[in-house]
């Protein structure tokens, strides 16, 4: 059985394109909270050890969530929010630059 050493089939999954304009009016605190909520949502969408049907839909949903995380990160960078990290959704290749 392959656990930690096998690459996730979701690694390399590109984020969906999400416009960052929808986040422009949010404060840095709100952006941070929104990103945390999306992180929880992404964790819920991450693949299990024994995946069931609907993998393509989960991949699509995770790409959308990850795209929102990317868009929020861009706004946080533009606003020079302190203490933000430009993280990735769980299950996504962390080496992918944003």
- How many domains does one find in the chain? 1
pLDDT digits (tens, 9 = 90+) for 56-75: 888 888 889 989 988 998 89
CA distance to 1, 23, 33, 64, 85, per residue, from 59 (Å): 23, 23, 23, 9, 23
CB 31 within 8 A of CB 72: yes
Is 78's pLDDT higher than 80?
yes
Does residue 85 lie in a domain region?
no
Does residue 94 lie in a domain region?
no
CA distance to 21, 55, 74, 82, per residue, from 17 (Å): 12, 20, 12, 25
Mean pLDDT lowest for which of 1-5, 14-18, 39-43?
A: 1-5
> Which domain range does residue 24 map to?
20-79
pLDDT digits (tens, 9 = 90+) for 7-35: 444 556 788 999 999 999 999 999 999 98
Does residue 47 lie in a domain region?
yes
């Amino acid at each position: 059985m392959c656990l930690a050493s096998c690459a996730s089939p979701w690694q390399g999954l590109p984020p969906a394109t999400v416009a960052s304009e929808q986040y422009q009016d949010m404060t840095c605190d709100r952006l941070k909270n929104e990103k945390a909520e999306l992180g929880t949502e992404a964790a819920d969408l991450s693949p299990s050890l024994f995946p069931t049907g609907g993998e393509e839909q989960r991949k699509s949903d995770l790409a959308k969530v990850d795209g929102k995380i990317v868009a929020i990160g861009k706004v946080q960078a533009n606003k020079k929010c302190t203490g933000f990290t430009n993280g990735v959704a769980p299950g996504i290749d962390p080496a992918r630059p944003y």
